[in-house]
Structure 1
Amino acid sequence: MRALVAAAIGLAAAFALVLTVTAIGAPPGETSPRPLLTTVPGPKK
C-alpha cells in the first residue's frame, strides 16, 4: 500500500512539473545557425 501511495505522489509531482513548464513556456531566443558536430571530424582532404 505504501508503494502505491509513493508512486501516486511521484506521478502527481511529475505531472505538476510538466504543467508548470508548459505554462511558463520556452525561454526566448533563437537556435544557432551552425549545426552541432555529433561525430569526431576525420582528416581533412
Structure 2
Amino acid sequence: MRALISAAIGLVAALALVLTITAIGAPPGETSPKPLLTTVPDHP
C-alpha cells in the first residue's frame, strides 16, 4: 500500500512540474538558421 501511495505522490509531483513548466512557457530567444552538422563534410 505504501508503494502505491508513493507512486501516486511521485506522479502528482511530476505532473505539477510539467504543468509549471508549461505555464511559464519557453524561454525567450531564437533558433539558429544554420542547420547542425551531424557528420564531418568530406574534404578531398
Coarse TM-score class (shorter-chain normalised): 0.7 to 0.9
1:13 aligns with 2:22: no
Aligned residues: 44
Identity of aligned residues (%): 75
Q: TM-score, normalised by structure 2?
A: 0.85
Q: TM-score, normalised by structure 1?
A: 0.84
Structure 1: 5+ residue runs without aligned partners?
none
* TM-aligned CA deviation for residue 43 of structure 1: 2.9
Q: Distance in 2 between matches of 1:21 and 1:44?
A: 44
Q: CA RMSD in A?
A: 1.2
* TM-aligned CA deviation for residue 42 of structure 1: 4.2
